Amino acid sequence: MADESQGRAKPKPLRISDAERERVVERLQTAVGEGRISFAELDQRLSLVYSADTRPEVDAVTADLPAARPLETVRIHRVKTIARFDGHWEVPALLSVECYDAVTRLDFREASIGHPVVRVDLSAVKSVVRLRLPPGASVSVNGLAVHKGFVRNRVTGRGGLPGGTGFVVTGDLLKTLLFIS
């Protein structure tokens, strides 16, 4: 009886999608922020990622890095109240902030931030939200939808310092004032 596997061709490796490629790029950027690889090594690895066609080629680029940890998330939910987070507090990689008719202040200036990027997913209605960022931080509000509201971003012109924390604010504001300084 002949071995059936001899007649079959070995399956070809799966091709990598753009979304998978971008996840690998994010993992490499995180590795730089963690001090695992240098900027020069990042450039080399990015070159390999963007020229790769298959998953095994891309997997080889991150084989010596630990698996990416899932984003640590904290949910802040406030209704008709005042919330204040300031002083020394541990900032997660993702803050999910939901406010209705509330005042919420998130002061990051003395907080412990162990991530190169902090994502703030903001859903606020009839509220006032104030973000106080640490020195050297940068902020992006490009993913924020504002309806009958107002955003005052005093960080825009600074652009952040090398090694400063990046803040990405996304979500929806309805009749809400957002102050970032």
Cβ(139)–Cβ(180) below 8 Å = yes
Tell me the C-alpha to C-alpha distance, in Å, between residue 176 and each of 25, 99, 124, 133, 152.
34, 9, 6, 19, 11
Query: How far apart (Å, rounded) are the C-alpha atoms in residues 24 and 148?
Result: 38
Q: Is the pLDDT of residue 80 over 90?
A: yes
Q: Quote the pTM value.
A: 0.61
- pLDDT value of residue 6: 59
**Nearest CA among 8, 46, 4 for reference residue 29:** 46
pLDDT digits (tens, 9 = 90+) for 115-145: 888 999 999 999 999 999 998 898 989 889 9
Does pLDDT of 168 surpass 80? yes
User: Helices 18-33 and 39-51: crossing angle, nearest 10°?
Assistant: 170
